[in-house]
Protein backbone atom coordinates (compact mmCIF):
# COMPACT_ATOMS: atom_id res chain seq x y z
CA UNK A 1 0.00 0.00 0.00
CA UNK A 2 1.49 3.31 -1.08
CA UNK A 3 0.10 6.76 -0.39
CA UNK A 4 0.32 8.93 -3.51
CA UNK A 5 0.49 12.68 -3.07
CA UNK A 6 -0.48 15.55 -5.33
CA UNK A 7 2.64 17.71 -5.01
CA UNK A 8 5.26 17.83 -7.75
CA UNK A 9 8.17 19.37 -5.83
CA UNK A 10 11.29 17.44 -4.96
CA UNK A 11 11.11 15.67 -1.60
CA UNK A 12 11.99 18.00 1.27
CA UNK A 13 14.43 16.81 3.90
CA UNK A 14 13.66 17.30 7.59
CA UNK A 15 13.68 15.24 10.77
CA UNK A 16 10.39 14.62 12.53
CA UNK A 17 10.45 12.96 15.91
CA UNK A 18 6.97 12.03 17.04
CA UNK A 19 7.27 12.78 20.74
CA UNK A 20 5.37 14.64 23.43
CA UNK A 21 7.72 17.62 22.98
CA UNK A 22 7.37 17.92 19.21
CA UNK A 23 3.83 16.64 18.64
CA UNK A 24 0.86 18.14 20.52
CA UNK A 25 -2.77 17.31 19.75
CA UNK A 26 -5.80 19.07 21.23
CA UNK A 27 -9.26 17.73 20.53
CA UNK A 28 -11.80 20.35 19.42
CA UNK A 29 -15.08 19.16 20.95
CA UNK A 30 -18.63 19.74 19.89
CA UNK A 31 -20.29 22.69 21.59
CA UNK A 32 -21.43 21.51 25.01
CA UNK A 33 -22.60 23.59 27.95
CA UNK A 34 -22.02 22.22 31.42
CA UNK A 35 -24.78 22.14 33.99
CA UNK A 36 -27.17 19.39 34.83
CA UNK A 37 -27.02 15.89 33.44
CA UNK A 38 -26.41 12.27 34.26
CA UNK A 39 -22.93 12.12 32.69
CA UNK A 40 -19.59 13.49 33.78
CA UNK A 41 -17.48 14.92 30.96
CA UNK A 42 -13.75 15.06 31.74
CA UNK A 43 -11.01 16.78 29.76
CA UNK A 44 -7.94 14.57 29.98
CA UNK A 45 -4.33 15.28 29.05
CA UNK A 46 -2.13 12.26 28.41
CA UNK A 47 1.50 11.81 27.49
CA UNK A 48 3.17 8.92 25.63
CA UNK A 49 0.34 6.40 25.78
CA UNK A 50 -2.48 5.37 23.49
CA UNK A 51 -6.09 6.27 24.16
CA UNK A 52 -6.83 2.57 24.71
CA UNK A 53 -4.06 2.32 27.31
CA UNK A 54 -5.45 5.39 29.07
CA UNK A 55 -8.98 3.96 29.01
CA UNK A 56 -7.72 0.73 30.55
CA UNK A 57 -6.16 2.63 33.44
CA UNK A 58 -9.31 4.69 34.01
CA UNK A 59 -11.46 1.55 33.85
CA UNK A 60 -9.34 -0.09 36.55
CA UNK A 61 -9.61 3.04 38.68
CA UNK A 62 -13.38 3.55 38.32
CA UNK A 63 -14.65 0.04 37.48
CA UNK A 64 -16.61 1.75 34.68
CA UNK A 65 -16.26 -0.26 31.47
CA UNK A 66 -18.25 1.95 29.12
CA UNK A 67 -16.28 5.19 29.07
CA UNK A 68 -17.24 7.28 26.06
CA UNK A 69 -14.69 8.94 23.79
CA UNK A 70 -14.84 10.74 20.45
CA UNK A 71 -11.65 9.45 18.83
CA UNK A 72 -8.28 7.80 19.30
CA UNK A 73 -5.23 9.97 19.91
CA UNK A 74 -1.58 9.30 19.11
CA UNK A 75 0.65 7.49 21.57
CA UNK A 76 3.92 9.37 21.00
CA UNK A 77 2.47 12.81 21.69
CA UNK A 78 1.02 15.16 24.26
CA UNK A 79 -2.74 15.02 23.68
CA UNK A 80 -5.93 16.30 25.24
CA UNK A 81 -9.37 14.81 24.66
CA UNK A 82 -12.79 14.56 26.25
CA UNK A 83 -14.26 11.44 27.88
CA UNK A 84 -17.65 10.68 29.41
CA UNK A 85 -18.82 8.30 32.09
CA UNK A 86 -22.00 7.98 34.14
CA UNK A 87 -22.09 10.47 36.99
CA UNK A 88 -22.16 7.73 39.63
CA UNK A 89 -18.49 6.96 38.86
CA UNK A 90 -17.29 10.53 39.44
CA UNK A 91 -16.29 9.97 43.06
CA UNK A 92 -13.80 7.32 41.99
CA UNK A 93 -11.90 9.98 40.04
CA UNK A 94 -11.60 12.51 42.88
CA UNK A 95 -8.28 11.11 44.10
CA UNK A 96 -7.06 9.80 40.74
CA UNK A 97 -3.36 10.43 40.12
CA UNK A 98 -1.15 9.12 37.33
CA UNK A 99 2.23 10.36 36.01
CA UNK A 100 1.05 10.28 32.37
CA UNK A 101 -2.62 11.24 32.79
CA UNK A 102 -4.04 14.49 34.11
CA UNK A 103 -7.72 15.44 34.45
CA UNK A 104 -7.69 19.17 33.70
CA UNK A 105 -11.43 19.93 33.68
CA UNK A 106 -14.82 18.31 34.24
CA UNK A 107 -18.51 19.17 34.01
CA UNK A 108 -21.89 17.48 33.91
CA UNK A 109 -23.77 16.89 30.68
CA UNK A 110 -27.00 15.23 29.56
CA UNK A 111 -25.48 12.84 27.00
CA UNK A 112 -22.49 10.52 26.73
CA UNK A 113 -19.71 11.06 24.18
CA UNK A 114 -19.80 8.75 21.17
CA UNK A 115 -17.19 8.03 18.52
CA UNK A 116 -17.04 10.95 16.12
CA UNK A 117 -18.48 13.52 18.52
CA UNK A 118 -15.87 16.18 17.79
CA UNK A 119 -15.25 19.01 15.34
CA UNK A 120 -11.63 18.12 14.69
CA UNK A 121 -8.16 18.39 16.21
CA UNK A 122 -5.59 21.16 16.56
CA UNK A 123 -1.96 20.20 16.12
CA UNK A 124 1.41 21.69 16.98
CA UNK A 125 4.41 20.09 15.30
CA UNK A 126 8.11 20.87 15.41
CA UNK A 127 10.37 19.74 12.55
CA UNK A 128 14.15 19.58 12.98
CA UNK A 129 17.17 19.90 10.68
CA UNK A 130 15.37 22.29 8.32
CA UNK A 131 17.59 24.37 6.05
CA UNK A 132 16.58 27.91 5.00
CA UNK A 133 15.70 26.92 1.43
CA UNK A 134 13.66 23.99 2.70
CA UNK A 135 11.82 26.31 5.10
CA UNK A 136 10.83 28.57 2.21
CA UNK A 137 9.62 25.57 0.23
CA UNK A 138 7.62 24.31 3.21
CA UNK A 139 5.91 27.71 3.43
CA UNK A 140 5.03 27.60 -0.25
CA UNK A 141 3.62 24.07 -0.11
CA UNK A 142 1.63 24.88 3.03
CA UNK A 143 -0.09 27.71 1.17
CA UNK A 144 -0.79 25.40 -1.75
CA UNK A 145 -2.34 22.76 0.52
CA UNK A 146 -4.44 25.35 2.31
CA UNK A 147 -5.76 26.56 -1.04
CA UNK A 148 -6.30 23.24 -2.84
CA UNK A 149 -6.63 20.66 -0.05
CA UNK A 150 -5.09 17.19 0.13
CA UNK A 151 -6.08 13.51 0.03
CA UNK A 152 -7.42 12.24 3.35
CA UNK A 153 -5.38 9.05 3.69
CA UNK A 154 -5.22 7.09 6.89
CA UNK A 155 -1.81 7.77 8.41
CA UNK A 156 0.82 5.18 9.21
CA UNK A 157 -0.26 5.22 12.88
CA UNK A 158 -3.40 3.37 11.78
CA UNK A 159 -1.18 0.43 10.82
CA UNK A 160 0.88 -0.30 13.92
CA UNK A 161 2.90 -3.43 14.50
CA UNK A 162 -0.18 -5.44 15.44
CA UNK A 163 -1.91 -4.50 12.18
CA UNK A 164 1.08 -4.81 9.85
CA UNK A 165 -0.11 -8.19 8.55
CA UNK A 166 -2.76 -7.41 5.93
CA UNK A 167 -4.00 -11.01 5.77
CA UNK A 168 -4.43 -11.18 9.54
CA UNK A 169 -6.50 -7.99 9.60
CA UNK A 170 -8.66 -9.40 6.77
CA UNK A 171 -9.32 -12.63 8.68
CA UNK A 172 -10.26 -10.70 11.82
CA UNK A 173 -12.56 -8.39 9.84
CA UNK A 174 -14.21 -11.50 8.34
CA UNK A 175 -14.66 -13.07 11.77
CA UNK A 176 -12.31 -15.97 10.93
CA UNK A 177 -10.05 -15.14 13.88
CA UNK A 178 -11.43 -14.15 17.26
CA UNK A 179 -9.59 -11.95 19.75
CA UNK A 180 -10.61 -11.57 23.39
CA UNK A 181 -9.39 -7.98 23.57
CA UNK A 182 -12.41 -6.14 22.11
CA UNK A 183 -10.48 -2.90 21.53
CA UNK A 184 -7.65 -4.66 19.69
CA UNK A 185 -10.19 -6.61 17.64
CA UNK A 186 -11.91 -3.38 16.61
CA UNK A 187 -8.57 -1.70 15.89
CA UNK A 188 -7.39 -4.50 13.60
CA UNK A 189 -10.74 -4.69 11.79
CA UNK A 190 -10.59 -0.96 11.16
CA UNK A 191 -7.01 -1.33 9.94
CA UNK A 192 -8.24 -3.68 7.21
CA UNK A 193 -10.89 -1.17 6.12
CA UNK A 194 -8.18 1.49 6.11
CA UNK A 195 -5.88 -0.56 3.85
CA UNK A 196 -8.67 -0.81 1.30
CA UNK A 197 -9.62 2.87 1.59
CA UNK A 198 -6.04 4.07 1.12
CA UNK A 199 -5.57 1.91 -1.97
CA UNK A 200 -8.86 3.19 -3.40
CA UNK A 201 -7.89 6.80 -2.72
CA UNK A 202 -4.47 6.33 -4.34
CA UNK A 203 -6.22 4.96 -7.45
CA UNK A 204 -8.52 8.00 -7.57
CA UNK A 205 -5.59 10.42 -7.13
CA UNK A 206 -3.81 8.66 -10.01
CA UNK A 207 -6.88 8.89 -12.23
CA UNK A 208 -7.37 12.57 -11.37
CA UNK A 209 -3.80 13.25 -12.46
CA UNK A 210 -4.19 11.34 -15.73
CA UNK A 211 -7.67 12.59 -16.66
CA UNK A 212 -6.69 15.96 -18.26
CA UNK A 213 -4.61 14.13 -20.89
CA UNK A 214 -7.41 11.73 -21.84
CA UNK A 215 -9.79 12.12 -24.77
CA UNK A 216 -13.58 12.25 -24.46
CA UNK A 217 -14.13 9.31 -26.81
CA UNK A 218 -11.73 7.13 -24.82
CA UNK A 219 -13.51 8.02 -21.57
CA UNK A 220 -16.90 7.15 -23.09
CA UNK A 221 -15.68 3.79 -24.35
CA UNK A 222 -13.75 2.75 -21.26
CA UNK A 223 -16.23 3.83 -18.56
CA UNK A 224 -19.56 3.74 -20.36
CA UNK A 225 -20.46 7.37 -19.69
CA UNK A 226 -22.35 9.70 -22.00
CA UNK A 227 -20.71 12.27 -24.26
CA UNK A 228 -21.95 15.04 -21.95
CA UNK A 229 -20.49 13.33 -18.88
CA UNK A 230 -17.16 12.79 -20.64
CA UNK A 231 -16.92 16.49 -21.45
CA UNK A 232 -17.95 17.44 -17.91
CA UNK A 233 -15.24 15.17 -16.53
CA UNK A 234 -12.60 16.80 -18.71
CA UNK A 235 -13.76 20.32 -17.85
CA UNK A 236 -13.68 19.86 -14.08
CA UNK A 237 -11.54 22.35 -12.16
CA UNK A 238 -9.52 21.37 -9.12
CA UNK A 239 -7.08 18.56 -8.43
CA UNK A 240 -9.41 15.78 -7.29
CA UNK A 241 -12.01 14.83 -9.90
CA UNK A 242 -15.57 13.90 -8.97
CA UNK A 243 -17.07 10.98 -10.93
CA UNK A 244 -20.64 10.13 -11.91
CA UNK A 245 -22.02 7.85 -9.18
CA UNK A 246 -19.80 9.26 -6.44
CA UNK A 247 -21.26 9.67 -2.97
CA UNK A 248 -20.52 13.09 -1.51
CA UNK A 249 -21.00 14.43 2.00
CA UNK A 250 -23.24 17.46 2.38
CA UNK A 251 -21.46 19.17 5.29
CA UNK A 252 -24.37 21.40 6.34
CA UNK A 253 -27.06 18.71 6.28
CA UNK A 254 -24.65 15.92 7.30
CA UNK A 255 -26.07 13.51 4.76
CA UNK A 256 -24.88 11.56 1.72
CA UNK A 257 -25.56 12.86 -1.79
CA UNK A 258 -25.47 10.63 -4.88
CA UNK A 259 -23.83 12.35 -7.84
CA UNK A 260 -26.16 12.07 -10.83
CA UNK A 261 -25.21 15.41 -12.42
CA UNK A 262 -21.56 16.49 -12.38
CA UNK A 263 -22.45 20.03 -13.35
CA UNK A 264 -24.79 20.38 -10.38
CA UNK A 265 -22.14 19.45 -7.79
CA UNK A 266 -19.19 21.21 -9.43
CA UNK A 267 -19.75 24.58 -7.73
CA UNK A 268 -20.68 23.04 -4.39
CA UNK A 269 -17.47 21.00 -4.33
CA UNK A 270 -15.41 24.08 -5.15
CA UNK A 271 -17.14 25.96 -2.32
CA UNK A 272 -16.37 23.04 0.02
CA UNK A 273 -20.05 22.41 0.73
CA UNK A 274 -19.92 18.91 -0.76
CA UNK A 275 -16.95 16.55 -0.51
CA UNK A 276 -16.36 13.17 -2.21
CA UNK A 277 -16.23 10.14 0.07
CA UNK A 278 -14.69 6.69 -0.09
CA UNK A 279 -15.94 3.35 1.19
CA UNK A 280 -15.12 1.77 4.54
CA UNK A 281 -16.23 -1.76 3.77
CA UNK A 282 -19.14 -3.30 5.61
CA UNK A 283 -22.51 -4.78 4.72
CA UNK A 284 -24.55 -1.67 5.55
CA UNK A 285 -22.32 0.97 3.93
CA UNK A 286 -23.54 3.03 0.99
CA UNK A 287 -21.92 1.99 -2.29
CA UNK A 288 -21.01 4.21 -5.22
CA UNK A 289 -22.74 3.73 -8.58
CA UNK A 290 -21.98 3.82 -12.33
CA UNK A 291 -18.47 5.10 -13.11
CA UNK A 292 -17.46 5.68 -9.48
CA UNK A 293 -18.47 2.09 -8.68
CA UNK A 294 -15.91 0.83 -11.20
CA UNK A 295 -13.16 2.42 -9.12
CA UNK A 296 -14.68 1.37 -5.80
CA UNK A 297 -15.40 -2.30 -6.54
CA UNK A 298 -11.77 -3.57 -6.44
CA UNK A 299 -11.44 -2.17 -2.90
CA UNK A 300 -14.80 -3.31 -1.57
CA UNK A 301 -15.21 -6.33 0.68
CA UNK A 302 -18.84 -7.15 1.58
CA UNK A 303 -17.64 -10.06 3.72
CA UNK A 304 -16.51 -7.69 6.48
CA UNK A 305 -18.71 -8.60 9.45
CA UNK A 306 -16.79 -6.87 12.24
CA UNK A 307 -18.15 -3.50 11.14
CA UNK A 308 -21.36 -2.25 9.55
CA UNK A 309 -19.23 -0.09 7.26
CA UNK A 310 -19.26 3.61 6.59
CA UNK A 311 -17.92 6.25 4.24
CA UNK A 312 -14.95 8.56 4.79
CA UNK A 313 -14.29 12.00 3.37
CA UNK A 314 -11.67 11.66 0.63
CA UNK A 315 -10.46 15.26 0.41
CA UNK A 316 -9.78 17.70 3.25
CA UNK A 317 -8.66 21.28 3.79
CA UNK A 318 -6.37 22.11 6.73
CA UNK A 319 -7.25 25.41 8.40
CA UNK A 320 -5.82 27.87 10.91
CA UNK A 321 -2.34 27.22 9.53
CA UNK A 322 0.51 29.04 11.27
CA UNK A 323 4.23 28.50 10.84
CA UNK A 324 7.51 29.83 12.15
CA UNK A 325 11.09 29.12 11.12
CA UNK A 326 13.76 29.21 13.83
CA UNK A 327 16.85 29.59 11.69
CA UNK A 328 19.36 29.39 14.54
CA UNK A 329 18.00 26.05 15.75
CA UNK A 330 17.07 24.79 12.30
CA UNK A 331 13.55 24.10 13.55
CA UNK A 332 10.29 24.67 11.67
CA UNK A 333 7.19 24.98 13.85
CA UNK A 334 3.68 24.74 12.49
CA UNK A 335 0.18 24.56 13.89
CA UNK A 336 -3.10 23.81 12.13
CA UNK A 337 -6.52 22.30 12.51
CA UNK A 338 -7.80 19.22 10.71
CA UNK A 339 -11.33 17.80 10.54
CA UNK A 340 -12.09 14.72 12.61
CA UNK A 341 -10.46 11.51 11.45
CA UNK A 342 -7.67 13.25 9.52
CA UNK A 343 -3.99 12.59 10.25
CA UNK A 344 -1.41 15.30 10.86
CA UNK A 345 1.34 13.00 9.62
CA UNK A 346 -0.40 12.83 6.22
CA UNK A 347 -0.07 16.61 6.01
CA UNK A 348 3.63 16.25 6.82
CA UNK A 349 3.98 13.64 4.07
CA UNK A 350 2.33 16.01 1.60
CA UNK A 351 4.76 18.72 2.69
CA UNK A 352 7.74 16.40 2.33
CA UNK A 353 6.31 14.69 -0.78
CA UNK A 354 7.42 11.34 0.61
CA UNK A 355 6.17 8.73 3.06
CA UNK A 356 7.38 9.10 6.64
CA UNK A 357 6.20 5.84 8.17
CA dihedral 75, 285, 232, 206 (to 10 degrees): 40
The yes-or-no verdict on residue 1 having pLDDT over 70 is no
Residues 6+ apart with CB under 8 A from 97: none
Q: Which residue is catalytic, options 22, 26, 74, 331?
A: 74
Length of the chain: 357
Taking the alpha carbons at both ends of the chain, their separation in whole angstroms is 12
pLDDT digits (tens, 9 = 90+) for 215-246: 999 999 999 999 999 999 999 988 999 999 99
Q: What is the pLDDT of residue 95?
A: 87
User: What's the Cα-to-Cα distance from 56 to each of 61, 97, 107, 181, 330, rounded to whole Å?
Assistant: 9, 14, 22, 11, 39
Higher-confidence residue of 131 and 184: namely 131
Residue 165 is among the residues annotated as catalytic for this protein: no
User: Largest Cα–Cα distance of the chain, in whole Å?
Assistant: 71
Q: CA 290: distance to chain centroid?
A: 26
Parent domain of 102:
23-120
Residue 94, domain CATH: 3.30.2350.20
* Same domain (yes/no): 169, 308: yes
Residue 296, domain CATH: 3.30.2340.10
Structural domains of the chain, count = 2
Of 218, 289, 234, the closest CA to residue 266 belongs to: 234
> What is the pTM for the complete model shown?
0.90
Alpha-helical segments (H) within the chain:
51-62, 132-148, 166-173, 182-210, 216-223, 227-234, 262-270, 290-296, 344-352
- Measured CA to CA, the distance from residue 138 to residue 189 in angstroms comes to 35
The yes-or-no verdict on residue 247 having pLDDT over 80 is yes
Residues 6+ apart with CB under 8 A from 317: 146, 149, 150, 272
pLDDT digits (tens, 9 = 90+) for 159-185: 755 445 788 888 888 988 888 887 788
pLDDT band at 34 (very low <50, low <70, confident <90, very high): confident
Asked if residue 258 is part of any domain, the answer here is: yes
Asked if residue 339 is part of any domain, the answer here is: no
Amino acid sequence: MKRLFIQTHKPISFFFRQSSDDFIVDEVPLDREGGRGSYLIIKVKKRNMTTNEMLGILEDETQCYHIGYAGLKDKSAMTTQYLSLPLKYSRALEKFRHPQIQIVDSFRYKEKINMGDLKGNRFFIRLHNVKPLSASELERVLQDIQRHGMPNYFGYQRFGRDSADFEKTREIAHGEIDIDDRRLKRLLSHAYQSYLFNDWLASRVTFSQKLPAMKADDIKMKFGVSAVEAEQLLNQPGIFKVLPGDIMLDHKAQKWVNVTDLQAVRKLFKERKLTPTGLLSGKKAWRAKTMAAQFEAPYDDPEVIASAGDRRVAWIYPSEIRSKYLAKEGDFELSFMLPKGAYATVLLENLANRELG
